[in-house]
Amino acid sequence: MSTLIFGLLTSLIVSFIATPYVMKLAIKVGAVDAPNQRKVHTRIMPRMGGLAIYLGYLVAFFLFVPYSSMGEMLGIFIGSTIVMIVGMLDDKYQLSPKWKLLGQLVATAIVVIPFGLKIGVVNLPYTGSIDFSSGWLFWLAIPITMFWIVGVTNAVNLIDGLDGLSAGVSAIATATMAIMALLMGDHKVAIYCFVLLGAILGFLYFNFHPARLFMGDTGSLFLGFNMAALSIMGFKEALFVSFIIPIVVLGVPLWDTFFAIVRRIVNKKPISSPDKGHLHHCLLNMGLSHRSTVITIYSISIFFGTMAILLTKTTKWTTIIVMVALLIVTHLATEIVGLVSRRHRPLINAYRRFRLKQAEQQRRTQ
């Protein structure tokens, strides 16, 4: 336990000390974020703050992650370093989406192919298991794993729209995975999570509203890549519930990204086109303040994290029932905040039609 605490404190202190220097560096090299019609902030802000997170993580990684546990973790380190560099280049030069995607694919290929981080065995309820470690499924595991890592990396990047939002949500997801690793007795995943968590918290002091700098793609791509890779490493070979736990842990960025895609399809816009329809935009439009919006999304993230931890202790049928309930609640919340649009609200509209029929029947019986 002392190793975990020292790892967290070391990365936190390094990240905290490095952040003001990274802020000056961002301004000096011109890595700044100017306001526009899609942005919430109203003044020029330095970005590339994710470099401070990386520095805290870098120092603690080599001090506290045991060399006997490197293997896949070294692959995650190399891959996350590559996406961090891609993020820095984007913060400075505004790379095109195809170059950012190429960098993510290279980083993902490195962690998946030479270092072997892939989906393992998925034990489905009552129908046996799917073993991705041999035969033709071995080759299918590679594109599935790469799709997951790239998808989550970009999902975390998409929610980076308010002060402290992406960093806070990533911290909650990392803390959740750390707790679950400890419960499962996986010390190597736990120490990695503690190291990453400390680096995020050291930076979050400067990034929470009102922020003094943004993490930029340097931070959001780095954190997203780590979230995705850790979710596979920690839960790749266990029960059915382990197949869905990463989805629940990363509930907020995946929820926001999924309905962003749905929203753009419904509105007949390109999937990659930016808009102001994300979860944080919707909450702001409902009248919440900047700080209240961030805290609300933190609360939702904590809810998802708590549910993920509880799911590890439930039976298969209870897991299925809880997941169905989560899907219904999530969809209802989507309609309430207008995450797709104010017109497309099937559950709410069905309830309103039901209430109207009830009222009509009561009038007829009177």
pLDDT, one tens digit per residue, over 305-352 is 888 888 777 776 777 787 888 888 887 888 887 777 767 777 777 778
Residues 6+ apart with CB under 8 A from 302: 172
Q: What percent of the chain has pLDDT over 70?
A: 88
Return the closest-CA partner of residue 220 out of 149, 300, 153, 162.
153
Would you tell me how many other CB atoms lie within 10 Å of the CB of residue 31? 25
In whole angstroms, give the CA distance from residue 112 to residue 110: 6
**16 pLDDT tier (thresholds 50, 70, 90):** very high
The backbone torsions φ and ψ at residue 239, rounded to the nearest 5 degrees and listed phi first, read -80, 175
The secondary structure of the chain in percent helix, strand, coil, rounded to multiples of 5, reads 75, 5, 25
Residue 128: helix, strand or coil by DSSP?
strand
Instruction: Pick from 105-109, 183-187, 206-210 the range whose average pLDDT is largest.
Output: 105-109
Q: Do the domain assignments include residue 310? A: no
Q: Do the domain assignments include residue 93? A: yes
- Of the two residues 14 and 288, the one the predictor is more confident about is 14
Distance of CA 32 to the CA centre of its chain: 23
Return the closest-CA partner of residue 347 out of 364, 328, 360, 366.
328
Residue 157 marked as a ligand binder: yes
At residue 105, the pLDDT reads 96
**239 pLDDT tier (thresholds 50, 70, 90):** very low
Residues 6+ apart with CB under 8 A from 176: 249, 305, 308, 309
Q: Do the domain assignments include residue 183? A: yes
Residue 256 marked as a ligand binder: no
Q: Do the domain assignments include residue 16? A: yes
Mean pLDDT within 63-69:
80
**361 pLDDT tier (thresholds 50, 70, 90):** confident
Q: Do the domain assignments include residue 320? A: no
Give CA angle at 150 (146, 154), nearest 5°. Answer: 170
At residue 351, the pLDDT reads 74
Q: Do the domain assignments include residue 57? A: yes
| Parent domain of 187 | 1-236
Residue 234: helix, strand or coil by DSSP?
helix
**69 pLDDT tier (thresholds 50, 70, 90):** low
Mean pLDDT within 186-211:
93
Instruction: Pick from 67-76, 159-168, 197-206, 230-239 the range whose average pLDDT is largest.
Output: 197-206
pLDDT, one tens digit per residue, over 123-163 is 555 555 666 767 777 788 889 889 989 999 998 888 887 88
Whether residue 252 is predicted with pLDDT greater than 90 in this model: the reply is no
At residue 244, the pLDDT reads 66
Mean pLDDT within 236-250:
60
Q: Do the domain assignments include residue 335? A: no
In whole angstroms, give the CA distance from residue 202 to residue 18: 9
Q: Which two tokens stand for residue 348?
A: 């709410």
Mean pLDDT within 202-228:
93
Q: Do the domain assignments include residue 293? A: no
Domain tally, the chain: 1
Beta pairing class for 121-124 and 128-131: antiparallel
Whether residue 238 is predicted with pLDDT greater than 50 in this model: the reply is no
Q: What percent of the chain has pLDDT over 90?
A: 37
Whether residue 242 is predicted with pLDDT greater than 60 in this model: the reply is no
Mean pLDDT within 255-272:
79
At residue 220, the pLDDT reads 94
